[in-house]
Structures are given as structure tokens and as C-alpha cells.
Amino acid sequence: MEPGPTQLPHIVFHEPRIAGNTGNAIRLAAITGARLHLVEPLGFDLSEPKLKRAGLDYHDLAVMDVHKNFDALLDLYPTSRVFAFTTRATTNFADVQFEPTDLMVFGPEPTGLDESVLSHPRITDELRIPMLPGLRSLNLTNSASIAIYEAWRQNGYTAGV
């Protein structure tokens, strides 16, 4: 259950719906060393071709876990801080000093995190990635990429080349 070799926070996709985004997240986890968690229900089968195509040949290089629900994931990490990424947040994600045990939680496409997650007592804070006003949201894996690379930058890109 330890973080990857780069000692990055964990990436959590809560009930992802689009196989291609999750495939891209598998690739992201592999190239950064972050651990990827998928919280069921998933909107696709893990053997789906779009998932495999988006992840290229990185599936065997990524550390990924699937959890039956949000509480099952949280039970495995009882002391971790849990950050919910949402457009409704007022805290800028770059203002947080991320730690390797943190869980970065991203919601499903196209709705984002629902109220049951956002109001969960384990949520440490809601974080926002800045964007121009009047626009709905970033792509799910783009958001996770921005966040995990900020955490890696904060740690001097340890183990990166």
C-alpha cells in the first residue's frame, strides 16, 4: 500500500465513466510512480479496448487498485489527508503542500464528485485548479496530471529524469 517510488500522493478516480480517461490515468501513474485507485462502480469493463489503447503498454508498469466503494478505500488509509478536486472549491490546489500519503480524489465525467463524497467527514479540503471563468471543467485525466505534477514539482521531481 506504499506510494510509488516517487513518493507522490495517490490519484483516486471516483466512479470513472470513460475508459479512455482511465487508460490515460494508468499511463500517468506509470510514468510518475503515483498509485492509482479506481472506486466502483466503473462505467466500463477493465478489459475494454479503449482502456488498453489509451494506456498503451504501461498497464504492467502502473500500480493500480480497484475498491468496491469510497469507504473501502478510505479504510485502507485511515490517517491520510483526502483532497476533493472540484470546480466549486475556493482553495487553489497549488497552495497545498502535498504529502506522499495524501489522496487526490477526482470525480466522474461529466458530473464531478457528488455531494456524498464532497460532504464525507474524511474530506480534508476541496481544491480547485484555476481556469477561465464561465467554463465548466477540465478533462479528468488532465486535472489529475496537473495535480500530480504539482506534487512532484514540490518534491523536486524526485526519481525523475
Residues 16 and 50 sit within 8 Å (Cβ to Cβ): no
Report the alpha-carbon angle 58-62-65, nearest 5. 135
CATH superfamily of 10-154: SPOUT methyltransferase, trefoil knot domain (3.40.1280.10)
CB atoms within 10 A of CB 158: 12
Report residue 69 CA to chain centroid gap.
Answer: 15
Q: Is the dihedral of CA 116, 122, 154, 55 positive or negative?
A: negative
State pLDDT tens for residues 7-52: 899 999 999 999 889 989 999 999 999 999 999 999 988 776 766 6
Task: Indicate the domain borders of the chain.
Answer: 10-154
The model's pTM is 0.91
